[in-house]
Amino acid sequence: MKIYLIRHSESIDDIENCYGGIADFDLRENGIKKVEQSLFSMLKFGF
């Protein structure tokens, strides 16, 4: 069994240096782009 860990992308609380805890903060535009890049990379490797 293989387990892959993927960190969440850049969110609003990351930039504002806030501790989000269990709160859900929206992704920033840059974070959305990073998620899309990660998705294409994962698909390229057969995920």
How much is the pTM?
Answer: 0.56
Q: Which residues form the domain of 28?
A: 12-44
pLDDT: which is higher, 3 or 21: 3
pLDDT for res 11: 72
Q: Is residue 3 one of the residues assigned to a domain?
A: no
The number of distinct structural domains making up the chain is 1
Q: Is residue 24 one of the residues assigned to a domain?
A: yes
CA distance 47 to 38: 11
Residue whose entry in the numeric block shows the structure tokens 């501790």: 19
Q: Is residue 18 one of the residues assigned to a domain?
A: yes
CA distance 23 to 42: 27
Q: If pLDDT is split at 50, 70 and 90, which confidence band does 23 have?
A: low
